[in-house]
Structure 1
């Protein structure tokens, strides 16, 4: 099916998934397979990270089946999250953990951080823990011997031990864990490197971006197979995914909880994550039509003799994605409206795609929305599209300034 750019905004979610996201994710699968060929051996295993990685594995293995490409390495579903990874490098907290906590819990108390890490609200920590997070102070408080601090350490250690047992089941005797995930920064790779250094860690992500502006020691072994950029560049069509990254995440994340805790198996088997509720495997592929069913429909239409068309289809699909995300009309906004997004890291709070109208000024509502171009069109149905060229110009100026600064840094380093 070939759809021209002006038509893309009039598609329903499933057709958009087939026309735009399907070829893009099939191209990702092809690139993942090429990297898997270079990783063949007795020491590596592809670990598809919950939650987005669960659908990535489903799409990838279906892609291999439809195209008759051979699987080179073992695959496993890894029940992990940034919260779970943080526990591996908690005692004492590593630089990666401290950076994540500082960014995720800015302005919140250290008691709230402790509750998230322990998944326990009755630690009864001393008063100093109720102060806002500060790295040095947090490390100092962790050295305390008060009963609440002892309970915190015990809870984190127990959960970490259960995760490591789960990890051992996933990897067997293989020491190189290749994390396959959506992106962007790759916090999980960085923290696992710090928390479990006896293993080798790599990351193969859909996109890699240092949008957090944090140190990137893990980028040497973390690749964005489809996108690598620290920001949106209007002249690089692939970076349009960064303008509405939640669209990619929403497509790939099934309706399952983020991994927060593990429980020991009564029969001595591998520990079970809270995500692994009864029938969780059947919930990876959605029953209702939507973006991901469209992706699978495109992949199901592939065959060995049509594999060569994937890259051509993907080139058109990237342009379709940019047209819908950067230059949306009212129908595109309706088609790509998502449910609430989880804040994650052990918290249950949700964030809406668009800021609630009437709670603040329209301009602030746009700035606080996950998809600003969509928020502009939604807030100003008649004139919103006239503002989109201005937004594009602003991003072009920022990207050019960033490019110039990077060039100057490289010249000074020579």
Structure 2
């Protein structure tokens, strides 16, 4: 808005009891320096500060942990749907991850404010107009969506404008609500004792300062920054990110030259840093949830049992506090689907149709009911989702429905006991699609159920509506891209599943044991079930965790970079030794079925063209190529990688 028009509107603002003004890009004008650039600059200053006091932590590592802490916190906030991330919490978690004392938080926050002072400019024209209105008897308040506290905003405003511009400051971080959802406007009106319709608001953001303010009844003066300004800021952020990527050190315990001699050594050298990184991200997410909600953390059988084993050791080793209750959860997609079927959920039908494609209604009945049934002839027909509920809830299938109801009732008892009075349920699992969360959320709509998992991918091609409640902490991609080293796990996902799963059957049935409910998987409670028994890869990863020093978070994050490079190499260009290390046992199909899939099928004497054609059925194609074509692999593996590169580029274009 032109300065003369702004002056006219502010001077004409009679008939209001309160004037509220946005802070950033309104009262204080940001330069083209991006948020990423400000973080990087601040962490360089903080690294120097630490070096003078005996801590050697490079700026790049500080920047990455800060950005990860923010990323995870805002993702948790998006699921919650309200509230605000506090910078003090982000900095505290960053320090804890790196093994630094909490007493350094004040120094880091002071650096943050100093960086802000070099990245802002005073909007003197607006400040002058507000001073005139204040002198005329109007009360002026600053209202900001920010991670900074009101005290921090006060320091910044006073630095540029002195103390005669605003009477009070309302920060979303302090108030726990935002302009983005409009609740902060209501909070200001209540605190000031002024009706919403008697407030004039000045701000730049089209959503928070205009649409939401107007929706709550405020009169708005929109002061947008030029469009080109946001483009310059994004360009600045992209440049900083590119520099960081190019300068990232490729060092750590796991160099590309090292060749682990067995699965235990591979687990320790390669998977140890990676699973530690994963567990640090779990802690970041759970800590944010724990700070604002009454929640419980449930580790889903089977993969969650191994994840918890690593997580508890990482948390204990690095002294990461977490008050949130946590339990191992006897659940599976089949069990969750039963619960969803009982409320006739559409998501359950989609899952069943995919899992039982080409099979009969009777196959579904046997899997869900857990018995053998004499059913009418139509149950022997191929499964069709559109008529399944009508058939299941028909009197002629009452034996099946009775067993399904009984099993679901036992599961609900188990679920209720674990969650207690928590209404926010945080599931932890390996991945990928988040079927368990999707099914449980449809079965228990009164609960807020979300999932944090190693990776998230829509490999099923189903609805992604539930993805806002499913967070892939390490990877979020629908397909592997050679340009994204972490996405290499999508080429051999069964490795990740096998890494964390104990040698117990998938949960399919429950029995009543009086006060408790037991399942066919046996006793998987933490401290009783040992997920590493017979699992050399996990045993090696745990040995890495056990040898971390108290400040080992920084070491683990440094080691994770070369470990990811090494894992990608082992998955996409495996040597004979890596094939031996990474070949996992047969993978059960689950969902109430006994089918078993082999990650690497046994070699069979057949013509070369037949072997090439059969590769499309392999779970780990690169491993199959390396095993079956020891000479041709030097041409076939690069060719396969090129195909994935093209697919990755095409996927980005769409």
TM class, shorter-chain normalised?
Answer: over 0.9
What is the match of residue 64 of structure 1? 315
Task: Report the Cα offset of residue 39 of structure 1.
Answer: 0.6
What is the match of residue 499 of structure 2? 251
Task: Report the Cα offset of residue 346 of structure 1.
Answer: 1.0
Write the distance in 1 (CA, Å) between the matches of 2:492 and 2:554. 29
Tell me the matched-pair count: 399
Write the distance in 2 (CA, Å) between the matches of 1:28 and 1:357. 35
What is the match of residue 562 of structure 2? 316
Question: Does residue 1:37 correspond to 2:287, yes or no?
Answer: yes
CA displacement, residues 304-353 of structure 1 (integer Å, 9 cap, x when unaligned): 22221221111111111101001112221122111110001011221111
Does the C-alpha gap of structure 1 residues 203 and 299 become closer, same or farther in structure 2, counting only changes over 3 Å?
same
Write the distance in 2 (CA, Å) between the matches of 1:59 and 1:247. 16
Task: Report the Cα offset of residue 281 of structure 1.
Answer: 5.4
Question: Is the contact between residue 281 and residue 473 of structure 2 (CA under 8 Å) also seen in structure 1?
Answer: yes
Between stretches 355-364 and 297-306, larger displacement belongs to: 355-364
Q: Please, what TM-score do these two structures have when normalized by structure 1?
A: 0.92
CA displacement, residues 71-96 of structure 1 (integer Å, 9 cap, x when unaligned): 23111111000000011111353121
Q: Please, what TM-score do these two structures have when normalized by structure 2?
A: 0.59
Write the distance in 1 (CA, Å) between the matches of 2:579 and 2:318. 34
Question: Does residue 1:380 correspond to 2:629, yes or no?
Answer: yes
What is the match of residue 330 of structure 1? 576
Write the distance in 2 (CA, Å) between the matches of 1:269 and 1:340. 36
Question: Does residue 1:293 correspond to 2:293, yes or no?
Answer: no
Write the distance in 2 (CA, Å) between the matches of 1:84 and 1:108. 19
1:275 to 496, 501, 521: 521
Does the C-alpha gap of structure 1 residues 339 and 169 become closer, same or farther in structure 2, counting only changes over 3 Å?
same
What is the match of residue 408 of structure 1? none
What is the match of residue 23 of structure 2? none
Task: Report the Cα offset of residue 57 of structure 1.
Answer: 0.9
Task: Report the Cα offset of residue 277 of structure 1.
Answer: 4.9
Question: Does residue 1:196 correspond to 2:480, yes or no?
Answer: no
* DSSP-derived class of the 2:258 partner: helix
Task: Report the Cα offset of residue 2 of structure 1.
Answer: 2.3
Task: Report the Cα offset of residue 288 of structure 1.
Answer: 4.2
Task: Report the Cα offset of residue 198 of structure 1.
Answer: 1.4
Question: Which structure is higher in RCO with an 8 Å CA cutoff and minimum separation 6?
Answer: 1
Write the distance in 1 (CA, Å) between the matches of 2:323 and 2:361. 45
Gapped regions of structure 2 (runs ≥ 5) = 1-251
Write the distance in 1 (CA, Å) between the matches of 2:487 and 2:616. 19
Task: Report the Cα offset of residue 365 of structure 1.
Answer: 2.7
What is the match of residue 512 of structure 2? 264
What is the match of residue 229 of structure 1? 477
Write the distance in 2 (CA, Å) between the matches of 1:287 and 1:107. 37
Question: Does residue 1:48 correspond to 2:294, yes or no?
Answer: no
Does the C-alpha gap of structure 1 residues 27 and 216 become closer, same or farther in structure 2, counting only changes over 3 Å?
same
Write the distance in 2 (CA, Å) between the matches of 1:235 and 1:42. 37
What is the match of residue 419 of structure 2? 171
RMSD: 1.8
Question: Does residue 1:355 correspond to 2:355, yes or no?
Answer: no
Write the distance in 2 (CA, Å) between the matches of 1:228 and 1:278. 29
Task: Report the Cα offset of residue 279 of structure 1.
Answer: 9.6
Task: Report the Cα offset of residue 377 of structure 1.
Answer: 0.9
Moved over 6 A (4+): none
What is the match of residue 77 of structure 2? none
Write the distance in 2 (CA, Å) between the matches of 1:83 and 1:15. 35
Write the distance in 1 (CA, Å) between the matches of 2:618 and 2:275. 25
Task: Report the Cα offset of residue 359 of structure 1.
Answer: 8.4
Write the distance in 1 (CA, Å) between the matches of 2:613 and 2:542. 37
Write the distance in 1 (CA, Å) between the matches of 2:546 and 2:267. 13
Question: Does residue 1:400 correspond to 2:646, yes or no?
Answer: no
Question: Is the contact between residue 233 and residue 395 of structure 1 (CA under 8 Å) also seen in structure 2?
Answer: yes
CA displacement, residues 114-147 of structure 1 (integer Å, 9 cap, x when unaligned): 1101111x2111111111111112233224221x
Question: Is the contact between residue 356 and residue 365 of structure 1 (CA under 8 Å) also seen in structure 2?
Answer: no
Question: Is the contact between residue 306 and residue 532 of structure 2 (CA under 8 Å) also seen in structure 1?
Answer: no
Write the distance in 2 (CA, Å) between the matches of 1:44 and 1:187. 21
Between stretches 393-402 and 304-313, larger displacement belongs to: 304-313
Question: Is the contact between residue 354 and residue 365 of structure 1 (CA under 8 Å) also seen in structure 2?
Answer: no
Instruction: Specify the structure having the higher radius of gyration (Cα).
Output: 2
What is the match of residue 638 of structure 2? 389
